[in-house]
Chains A and B, each alone.
Chain A
Amino acid sequence: MAEEIKDIYWEDVKEKYDLPQKTRVIDTTIIAAGAMWASHDFMPVHHDRDFAQGKGAPDIFMNILTSNGILASYLEQWAGPAAKMKTMQISLQVPNFPEKDGNKMDMNARVTKKYEEGGEHLIELAFSGDNNLGPHIVGTAVMALPTKG
């Protein structure tokens, strides 16, 4: 918890602002722990290599809740605890497989819209997570940010 708590204010955000890129290592531990330990998903394709290969996949792969959670955290970490996540919309493309030499997912996001609605100060973000095989996840999120006033 050594990380500094920093809030991003709505007034300081500009459309077309790019968030700093973050990278996550994608290995067997994070895939299996993400599925079973964090999101309670015991579908064996996310932890049992033999089962996954029996289903036609080359290896175990990350479950959608972990992918969603990692990206949601990436955005929330940037915005700070006073921000509120309103909507996460994602779609998955190539799966996140573990790889011997290490698979990595690069996460990027951009503020695409800044607006007010229902008394809330909102931003819309487009984000992506790309691994060694190509795009793993793309999506948009809406967050409410605190204001200075």
Chain B
Amino acid sequence: MGKKYEVKPFNSPLEESLDYSLVADLVGKFSPQRDPHDEVSESDIRHWCEVMHDANPLYRDTEYARNSEYGGMIAPPAMVQAWSLGSMKTALNQFVEEKLAFPDDPNNRLTEQVVKAGYTGVMATAQVQTYKAPIKPGDTIYFKLGVSQISEYDHFTRQGVGRYYMIVYTFENQDGEEVCFCTFRVLVYKPPASTRKLYKG
């Protein structure tokens, strides 16, 4: 590292900051392959399309889709991650009770450290999805997630003092075919006493 940062990054001397050496070994590690909460279904696809106002007949019209190059209905590619998010119970356990389903996964070990250091706010800030194969009703979308990058110092953001980290997802169907590769940048931050006034001006 040494002289990499000529300008001293923002860091309040009064606040405890995350010690990067505690999380440095997580960069580049992946979780084992995980199961989705459900297989892909036509009703899940309909829910997505209703919210997104997506009228693409490949996602909603069986007759049209059967005569297409796919030979049947497919799911909107951007929907890939929906099946990898936990059930309501798992999610609420994680976010409210802070009980993680797989505490040893690299992303969860990272979460544990950042929460301990006081970064209790979480916000997804950027995402890149590369779609490789169509997703069809009846498919099971397995996934793996890893950590590819963690900020070494604090950032002063609109949300508060925080750190960015990058999560990498790979999604595979039941035939072992990769359907999507995704990177996901997350901001964890220390919520200031009142963020509300920031939005008023």
**Chain A: residues with CB nearer than 8 A to chain B?**
1, 3, 5, 24, 30, 33-34, 36-45, 51, 53, 55-58, 63-66, 68-70, 72-73, 76-77, 81, 84-92, 94-95, 97, 133
Contacts and interface: CB of A to CB of B under 8 A. Distances in A.
A90 to B, nearest CB: 5
B175 interface: no
A88 B78 contact: yes
Given A42-B85, A76-B56, A37 B160 contact: no
Chain A binding surface SS class: mixed
B95 A37 contact: no
Given A5-B57, A40-B37, A85-B77, A66 B51 contact: yes
B86 interface: yes
A70 B52 contact: yes
Contacts of A55: 120-122, 191
A77 B81 contact: no
B128 interface: yes
A38 B91 contact: no
Contacts of B33: none
Given A42-B88, A56-B195, A69-B76, A81 B56 contact: yes
Interface residues of B, number: 57
A89 B160 CA distance: 25
Contacts, number: 152
Contact of B128 (A36, A69, A87): A87
Nearest to B198: A58
B127 interface: yes
A86 B78 contact: no
Given A1-B57, A1-B61, A42-B86, A87 B131 contact: yes
B130 to A, nearest CB: 5
25 contacts: A33-B47, A33-B51, A38-B79, A41-B85, A53-B196, A55-B120, A56-B121, A56-B159, A58-B199, A65-B81, A65-B82, A68-B78, A69-B78, A70-B53, A72-B76, A72-B78, A73-B78, A77-B55, A85-B77, A86-B131, A87-B130, A88-B127, A91-B125, A91-B185, A94-B158
A31 to B, nearest CB: 10
Interface in B81-102: 81-83, 85-88, 91-92, 95-96
A38 B50 contact: yes
A97 B123 CA distance: 13
A63 B79 CA distance: 13
Contacts of B177: none
